[in-house]
Structure 1
Amino acid sequence: MPRFPASTDISQSLAEVLGQDIQLDTWQSVSGGSIHQAWHVHSQCGQQFFVKTNLANKYHTLEAEYLGLQTLHDHISPENPLHIPKLYTLASNEQYSWLILEYIEFGQQTPASQTALGQGLALLHQQTAPQFGFEADNVIGENLQTNGWTKDWLSFWAEQRLGTQFKLAAQHGFYNSLQDEAEQLLSLLPQLLQGHQPIPSLLHGDLWAGNAAADTKAKPFIFDPAVYYGDRECDLAMTTLFGGFSADFYAAYNHVYPLDNGYEQRKDLYNLYHILNHANLFGGGYIGQSQSMMQQLISQVS
């Protein structure tokens, strides 16, 4: 089986971390990612790794993922049943960049794994910061996600979430079709978030079903984060956007960390960010869906 062109440099970067000679000699392409190439890699000694590769100019996207995973690792308490893939190294050469992680063999999601996932996410959300934001900007898909520290949640959501997506829409040439709804929605945000004062919780940030899994022992894992400190309802809202999370997951979450009143009314406001991001990434029907969501949100308070 052919090796990745930079396999020698990638092997060397891993050897430096492990403190031993290692040769990654079997490379099997893994499907599922839309931004990076993903590989299930074996060493000559039978060790297994998960490697993400891209061109050197995409190093920043892998760096953002590395920092997000490291942050999640650092804040997972010993009693938390949720797991984060082990990080080995992040590196690049003149042509390519790569991220080496623990290889996890996925199994079937079960009621037990969904329960543990809900419990673990609730415990993760109890890790907090003084302000909303993160120590660095990162990416959501391939789009920039700004994370400047902000004391006020309403301002953070208006400026660094919805506002950045509206700016991207202008760059992509379709903001004019959304402008009336966008301006009206931003003016109504104080009413949509009235009385809601969340604490800044540590979020996965991109928690759809494709970024959560269970291994063959039903141990839950989350990966591919877009980490920041925000309203925990944002993570919960996104789990409903594309499905894949069971009633066991939600019951377990609420048992550990019950959601605040009004979550159902705020859920679409938080998911609008991701639909706008999809519109900026893929265009098509997501543009109309964004407009419809804004119209529905406006109708709630106008």
Structure 2
Amino acid sequence: MPVSNVQKLNAETAQAIKVLSGLDFSGAEARALGGGCINRVLEVRAHDGPCCLKLNAAGALPMFDAEADGLAALAGNGAFRVPQVLACGATADEAFLLLEYIELHPLSGAEDGRRFAEALVQLHLDIGEDFGWGRDNFIGASPQANTPHHAWAQFFVRCRLAPQLERARSAGYGTALGSELEQVLARVPAMFLDYCPRPSLLHGDLWNGNAAVDAGGRPVIFDPAVYRGDRDADLAMSELFGGFPTAFYATYRAALPPAEGYAQRKTLYNLYHVLNHLNLFGRAYLGQAERMVRSLASELLR
């Protein structure tokens, strides 16, 4: 480890981890891992090898609890390799989530894309009764409501778009987004008159930073925001920031071809993530949100 990157764990955190997991990190050295803009993410080493440790203020424990729940759900499906949760808890000052360390590699090439798509198909064929989830969780650092609904359009409006719109208004972006967004929300059910998605198990935040393969080439997913919803929502998110191989889309669509209207649904579903980025990171995402609202309005308000 470079000396400048080495740090020590808080002694109380190390003791709490030992109580929960039996792993002793007292005096252990840790190094920062890339990719954490919400939490501190460290590689820590016990006698058995490295682990991944996420840290945040003690008040962030509900976020780590929700992440552990989501990882368990994904692991239970069995399609992907998912980091095993080793400990989750908090001291007076610090919340922590200790995970199995996996050597991660970006998706690069046709074989990675094909395997990842096959795993995602298996995940999405895990069908439940209702849209939503048994508990609320988080999308990034934002609370994400998961109240079960029988109707997908109602769920997506009430539990996804409406809360983000309310946060945007509170932050002063309501005027810029205009009344069109409210009108779009009212017309969302019209998009699903001829398309009835099933409640698939979703990762919920499937951008390329949460997708990888391990050293043996097995697909890996992590940092979930799980719920049951339209499988197109995961596929749409994968296109928002790019980075997935072409073979991924060819393989996925060969198994589960998108129904007519996917392009419009993609804009709707990704509007949720862009509004969330607007609310978390500021007005750099406002123009993109406005363009998406105008695109949807031009189709839905004709």
- TM-score range relative to shorter protein: over 0.9
For 1:4, the equivalent position in structure 2 comes to: 9
Say if 2:44 is the partner of 1:41. yes
Q: Structure 2: how far apart are the matches of 1:74 and 1:272?
A: 29
Q: Structure 2: how far apart are the matches of 1:64 and 1:14?
A: 21
Q: Structure 1: how far apart are the matches of 2:57 and 2:282?
A: 24
Between stretches 252-261 and 96-105, larger displacement belongs to 252-261
Alignment map for 1:272-287 (pairs within 5 Å): 272-287=271-286
Pairwise CA distance, 1:14: 4.1
Picking from 32, 54, 57, the partner of 2:56 is 54
Structure 1 residues 271 and 21: CA distance shift in structure 2, 3 A: closer
For 2:221, the equivalent position in structure 1 comes to: 222
Pairwise CA distance, 1:158: 1.2
Q: Structure 2: how far apart are the matches of 1:266 and 1:2?
A: 45
Structure 2 counterpart of 1:198, which letter? P
Pairwise CA distance, 1:199: 0.6
Contact 1:11–1:24 (Cα < 8 Å) also in 2? no
For 2:35, the equivalent position in structure 1 comes to: 32
- The one-character-per-residue Cα deviations of 1:92-111 (angstroms, maximum 9, x if unpaired) are 11110100111111235332
Structure 1 residues 236 and 22: CA distance shift in structure 2, 3 A: same
Pairwise CA distance, 1:175: 1.4
- The one-character-per-residue Cα deviations of 1:69-120 (angstroms, maximum 9, x if unpaired) are 01111222xxx3x211111110111110100111111235332222111010
Stretches of structure 2 lacking an aligned partner (at least 5 in a row): 1-5
Pairwise CA distance, 1:46: 4.8
SS in 1 for 2:98: strand
Q: Structure 2: how far apart are the matches of 1:111 and 1:187?
A: 41
Q: How many residues align?
A: 295
Structure 2 counterpart of 1:270, which letter? Y
Q: Structure 1: how far apart are the matches of 2:15 and 2:251?
A: 41
Q: Structure 2: how far apart are the matches of 1:258 and 1:49?
A: 39
Structure 2 counterpart of 1:5, which letter? N
Between stretches 32-41 and 211-220, larger displacement belongs to 211-220
Structure 2 counterpart of 1:156, which letter? F
Q: Structure 1: how far apart are the matches of 2:258 and 2:246?
A: 15
Contact 2:41–2:55 (Cα < 8 Å) also in 1? yes
Contact 1:122–1:256 (Cα < 8 Å) also in 2? yes
Structure 1 residues 13 and 263: CA distance shift in structure 2, 3 A: same
SS in 2 for 1:101: strand
Q: Structure 1: how far apart are the matches of 2:134 and 2:141?
A: 19
TM-score (norm 2): 0.92
Alignment map for 1:1-302 (pairs within 5 Å): 1-6=6-11, 9-10=13-14, 12-14=16-18, 16-18=20-22, 23=26, 25-43=28-46, 45-76=47-78, 80=79, 82-109=80-107, 110-301=109-300, 302=302
Q: Structure 1: how far apart are the matches of 2:173 and 2:284?
A: 12
- The one-character-per-residue Cα deviations of 1:160-197 (angstroms, maximum 9, x if unpaired) are 11111111112212113223111221122133333111
SS in 1 for 2:7: coil
Q: Structure 1: how far apart are the matches of 2:205 and 2:272?
A: 11
- The one-character-per-residue Cα deviations of 1:196-220 (angstroms, maximum 9, x if unpaired) are 1101011000000000011222221
Stretches of structure 1 lacking an aligned partner (at least 5 in a row): none
Percent of residue pairs identical: 37
